[in-house]
Structures are given as C-alpha cells and as structure tokens.
Structure 1
Amino acid sequence: MAHTARSRRTTAALAALSLGILAALTACNGDAENDAAAPGTHASPSATRADKGTNTPSSAGPSDSGSGTGKSSGSPSTPPSSKPGSDDGQDGGVGMCETADLSYNVTVASRPVNHALLTASNKGSDPCLLSANELVITIPGLDGAAEHMGPDGKDWILEPGQNAYAGIMFSRADTAGGKSADKMEVALTASESPTTVPINDGPVTVNDGQVTSFFGTAEDALTY
C-alpha cells in the first residue's frame, strides 16, 4: 500500500511538472508570436510619414502639377499683326486709288460764284487709299494745272461707292476775260494720265484755275 501511495504521488508530481513545463512553453511561444507579429501590426514612424506623404501636396509649384490649369490662367496669345503695306504705294494692304478707279462729276456751284464742285466716287468693288492733296485739274487750252488753295486734307480709305469732294475756282471776279470751257481734265496724281470730265451747267469762263484738296463733304470743299 505504501508503495502504491508513493507511486501515485510521484505520478502526480510528474504530471504537475509536465503542466508547468507546458505552460512555460506556451507563454514563450505566445511572446515569440507577439514579437513576430509586431512589425506587421505597429507601423514605424517613417512608414506613417510615408503614408501621409502620399496624401499631401507636392512641394513643386502650380506649374509643376496641373500644368493645364496654369497655362489657361496666363495671358491670351497676341493675335498676329496685320501685314504692312508694300513699297508700291499701299497702306495696310489697301492699294492707292488710281484715276481710272474713280468716276467723276463736275457741276457749276450756285455759291460761291465762279466755283464748281468735283465729286469723285469709288466705282470699284474694293476700297482704295485716296491721296487728298495730289489732285490735278487742267482746263484744255490753258497753260498749266490749277493751283492749290485752302488747307491740306488727309489721305483716307475710300470705300466702294463712297464719295470725295473738291472745290474748283475757275475764274476770279476781278479778272476780266478768259476762255470758255465746257470740260476739264482730272487726274489723282501728276504721274497719271488724266480723264476728261464734262462741266455740267457749263460752259464757264475760265481765267484762273484753283482747286482744293479732297474733303469728305461738299460743304467743306466749297468753303474756299
């Protein structure tokens, strides 16, 4: 009986020892598993900063990111400038008016006396640059062209169908005699061949010819 009791105590002690060893091993394994799991469950500070960095704006300027927006906010492109006139007497691509480009009408004016009104019209389909101060008026049978009178006018673009006006004085009141004329010659410049224009309500007596520059209204042309 005594042997049996000792055997049971020995067995119980061994069993307790085994349980202790098992518990110790289990605790060690648990610590080892926690240590192994630590890198995966707790992010390092550097990793946390990296993760946050993916959501923060880049340090580059606006032109580095979203370049389309940056370009659209800039100033608009300068449109191309018009082509300059060539050296053949053009201005801004519009050619000079030539004598043959216009139609002419000369009518004796009621006032002032001894004056006629020249009306020049652009009969073409394109505008042209009218030289205001180079008009040449000649009375056939008289020496030389009419002299200039009044202020200088300004060149301007004469649109199709638009008129320009010049006043012509064909006789001085204090000058006796003269030549009877029912027509005159008109040229826009001295270098061009003139065109012959009848004098409406003529003939007139011409003893001294003078002509103004071209103006935009008949009233201005007959002021001088």
Structure 2
Amino acid sequence: MRSNRIRTTALAATALLAALSLTACSSDDGNSDSTKAGSAAPAAHTAVKQSPSPASAPDRNTTDADTGTDTGTGSTPKNPAPPTKTNGKTDGKNTTGSTNRAGSTTNRTPVTCDSKNTRTGVTTVSRPVNHLLLTLTNTGGRPCYAYYAPKLQFDDAQAVFPILDDSRPQAVVTLDPGQSAYAAIGLTGEPGAGPAPRKATHLQVHFSGRSPEGSTGTPAELTLPSDTYWDDNGFVTYWQTEMADALSY
C-alpha cells in the first residue's frame, strides 16, 4: 500500500511537470509569432516626413545677412557701393570748399561800389512822368557799398544835379555780387518854375565814397534815351534797394 501510494505521487508530479513544460512552450511560441508578425506588418501610425511649409522655408530671393553672399536669384547687390570720396572725406556728400589756393578763407569784406566792380544803366519809365531810372549792379566778387546818391552831370554841365535829401535810406545800401540798387532821376521841376528844359544826350555818373564830399574812381559814361530834357529843378534820389522805393519820389 505504501509502495503504491509513493508511485502514485511520483506519477502525479511527473504529469504536473509535463503540463507546465507544455504551457511554457505554448507561451514562447505565441510570443515569437507575435514578434514576427509585428516586425512584418507596418505600424498603424507611421510618421511621414514632410517638406517644410512656405512660412518656415527660407526665401530664395534674399541675401544672407551674416555672410553678405547672395543666396537667391534676386537683384539685391552683394555689397552696397562705397560712399564717394570727396575732399579727403568719405561722408558721401559733394561739398565745395570756400578757400582759395593759398588755403585762406575767401575775402568777403565789402568794398566801395564804383565803375570797376559795377555796371550802371539808365532807362525810361512810364510812371512817374519825366523820370529816368538808374540801375547799379555789382559785377565783382565781393559785396560793395553804394554810398549816398549818384552824382550826375548832363552833357557839359558844370554843376552836379541836385540830390533829393528826403530819399535818404536808413542804412547804406550793400550789394552782394549780382544784386542791384536803384536811383530815380526827376528830370524837371514844376513847369514854369525856372529856365526852359534843355535836351541832353550824355550822362556822367560819379560814385560817392565814405565821405559825401567828392567822388571815387572814374565815372560811368552813359548814353541817354532819345528826347531827354532836364532843368535845374530836377533831382536824383539816394541809392535804394528796391526799384519801387526809388520811383516813389
């Protein structure tokens, strides 16, 4: 009895071990098949590589800001043109100096207006009647002072034509190169107030200096408009900066 019981127990243990072995083999075979199947079939959510979107893609028509090289087919120059070198500077501006060859600043000290640095002309005017207009233009390279009034002599007259003191300006007229001053000539006074008017064809214009006495330089020689008549009661104004001011007398 005891021997049969031991044999029965041994057989049961052997059967249990065999069952466990079969279970383990079945489990290994299942895992192996699953692995093989998993490697053969593609995953359900495979990631697909995409091209960059237009927003993130680099612009082909741009210039590399770091290297200065053109990365596209646009017309942007690789490097900007350097500034023009002028007068030893590279500020890109074309400037001209105000110095002469010796390197000193151009002399702008005013001089006296005279026949050497001015041009004088005489013309008729419609208003006021019996008036002429003198125009003095600075043709020199420096400013000039048109002092006082022009001193006039018609033809061979010995006396200087009367100067109208009421026309004296508040300051000496200064002419920059190219600028003009004006003086009006009233040819005659009130009718019947003196000798009959005399015809004139020629006029000498003398220029005043810093002193009202005398004149400076050589006079300007002018030919008068035809049918010019004058008398001793006429006048000439001081030099004015505006034509209208001269012709207001």
Bigger radius of gyration, 1 or 2? 2
Q: Name the structure 2 match of 1:121.
A: 137
Tell me whether 1:198 sits opposite 2:213 in the alignment.
no
Q: Name the structure 1 match of 2:128.
A: 112
Tell me whether 1:148 sits opposite 2:143 in the alignment.
no
Q: Name the structure 1 match of 2:242.
A: 217
User: Which of 187, 212, 221 is the equivalent residue of 2:206?
Assistant: 187
Distance in 2 between residues matched to 1:108 and 1:198, nearest whole Å: 12
RMSD, aligned CA: 1.8
Structure 1 residue 205: Cα displacement: 1.1
The structure in which a higher percent of residues are helix is 1
Q: Name the structure 1 match of 2:51.
A: none
Structure with larger RCO (C-alpha < 8 A, sep 6+): 1
Q: Among the aligned pairs, what percent are the same residue?
A: 27
Q: Give the match's secondary structure for 1:110.
A: coil
Q: Name the structure 1 match of 2:146.
A: 130
Structure 1 residue 213: Cα displacement: 0.4
Structure 1 residue 182: Cα displacement: 2.2
Distance in 2 between residues matched to 1:173 and 1:217, nearest whole Å: 26
Tell me whether 1:98 sits opposite 2:114 in the alignment.
yes
Q: Give the match's secondary structure for 2:199.
A: strand
Deviations 1:139-172 (A, max 9, x none): 1233311111132122132111101000001122
Deviations 1:34-78 (A, max 9, x none): xxxxxxxxxxxxxxxxxxxxxxxxxxxxxxxxxxxxxxxxxxxxx
Tell me whether 1:207 sits opposite 2:231 in the alignment.
yes
Residue type at the aligned position of 1:110 = S
Structure 1 residue 126: Cα displacement: 1.8
TM-score, L = length of structure 1: 0.54
Structure 1 residue 173: Cα displacement: 4.0
Structure 1 residue 197: Cα displacement: 1.0
Distance in 2 between residues matched to 1:129 and 1:205, nearest whole Å: 30
Residue type at the aligned position of 2:145 = L
Runs of 4+ in 1 over 4 A off after TM superposition: none
Uncovered stretches (5+) of structure 1, i.e. residues with no partner = 1-91
> 1:122–1:130: structure 2 CA closer, same or farther, 3 Å change rule?
same
> 1:134–1:218: structure 2 CA closer, same or farther, 3 Å change rule?
closer
- Kindly tell me the number of residue pairs found equivalent between the two proteins: 131
Structure 1 residue 134: Cα displacement: 3.8
Q: Name the structure 2 match of 1:162.
A: 179
Structure 1 residue 188: Cα displacement: 1.3
Distance in 1 between residues matched to 2:240 and 2:135, nearest whole Å: 10
